[in-house]
């Protein structure tokens, strides 16, 4: 019996070169497909909801795969977690409709960026946030939010290697501060390569006084990536949750 499964996985990215499988390089997708092969005895390709970059962590990445089995999802989850390393953990595995795709059926993605804003970083947070030493004006960052609302051309906020259509709709961005932590939450159906990190970089530059409101507003009117020099580092970015058009358990 061929079944389609939807799985939610969390991972710490330090030991992997991103999500997408690559030859002779450790990736999260590659580790999961290795575990599936070891258990089922054949090659099984998984489809991820989002191709997180090297250094980007996940609380709730989603992937789907099809396999011929009589097992239920909980049994598969337990076996895979017994094979996978401790920095990759599957939190749920449920049977999905045959036509479900973790990537195609996405309604909204929630990403979170963490900034630690103090002169010194506590060592336990190393590799888990962007350490910004200079005091940031969070109020100034919040005043930028209307610029990023709606569907716009994010060419200047994308990576040089990104060749696709550069129009994306950002559903919302929220910013909150608690102690040394500044948290930015981004919601949208999809984001360009480096888009969230470059938006965050622009906001931080503005909060330092290095870029004005007008400077950032004008980034939407030009196709020149050199106008924005700051890209936030990957270790502060987390894929938090994937929301689908149809609820599946």
Is this model's pTM higher than 0.85 or not?
Answer: yes
- The secondary structure of residue 112, as a DSSP letter, is E
Q: Where are the extended beta strands (E) located within 117-202?
A: 130-131, 150-153, 167-178, 181-188
- Model confidence at 79: pLDDT above 80: yes
Boundaries of every domain in the chain: 2-104, 107-242
Q: 162 pLDDT exceeds 70? A: no
115-159: pLDDT as tens digits: 999 999 999 999 999 999 999 999 999 999 999 999 999 999 998
CA distance 130 to 235: 7
Candidates 53, 87, 162, 224; catalytic one? 53
pLDDT above 80 for 163: no
Domain 107-242 fold: Alpha-Beta Plaits (3.30.70)
The class (CATH top level) of 2-104 is alpha beta
53 catalytic per annotation: yes
In whole angstroms, give the CA distance from residue 245 to residue 102: 11
Q: Which pLDDT band, with edges at 50, 70 and 90, does 1 fall under?
A: confident
Choice between 249 and 244, residue whose per-residue pLDDT is larger: 244
Whether the domain at 2-104 and the domain at 107-242 fall into the same CATH topology: yes
Alpha helices (H) along 130-210: 138-143, 195-208
- Collapsed DSSP state (helix, strand, coil) of residue 190: coil
């Amino acid at each position: 019996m061929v079944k389609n499964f939807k799985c939610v996985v969390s991972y710490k990215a330090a030991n992997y070169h991103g999500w997408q499988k690559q030859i002779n390089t450790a990736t999260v997708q590659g580790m999961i497909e290795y575990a599936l092969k070891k258990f089922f005895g054949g090659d099984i390709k998984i489809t991820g909801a989002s191709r997180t970059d090297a250094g980007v962590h996940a609380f709730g990445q989603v992937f789907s795969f099809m396999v011929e089995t009589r097992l239920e999802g909980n049994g598969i989850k337990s076996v895979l977690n017994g094979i996978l390393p401790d920095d990759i953990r599957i939190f749920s595995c449920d049977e999905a409709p045959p036509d479900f795709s973790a990537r195609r059926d996405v309604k909204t993605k929630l990403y979170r960026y963490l900034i630690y804003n103090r002169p010194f970083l506590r060592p336990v947070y190393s590799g888990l946030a962007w350490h910004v030493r200079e005091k940031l004006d969070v109020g100034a960052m919040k005043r930028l939010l209307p610029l990023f609302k709606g569907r716009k051309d994010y060419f200047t906020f994308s990576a040089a290697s990104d060749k696709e259509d550069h129009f994306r709709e950002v559903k919302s961005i929220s910013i909150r501060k608690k102690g040394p932590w500044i948290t930015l939450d981004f919601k949208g159906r999809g984001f360009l390569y480096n888009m969230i990190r470059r938006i965050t970089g622009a906001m931080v530059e503005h909060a330092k006084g290095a870029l004005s409101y007008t400077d950032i507003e004008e980034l939407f009117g030009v196709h020149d990536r050199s106008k924005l020099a700051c890209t936030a580092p990957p270790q502060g970015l987390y894929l938090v949750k994937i929301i689908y058009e149809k609820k599946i358990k």
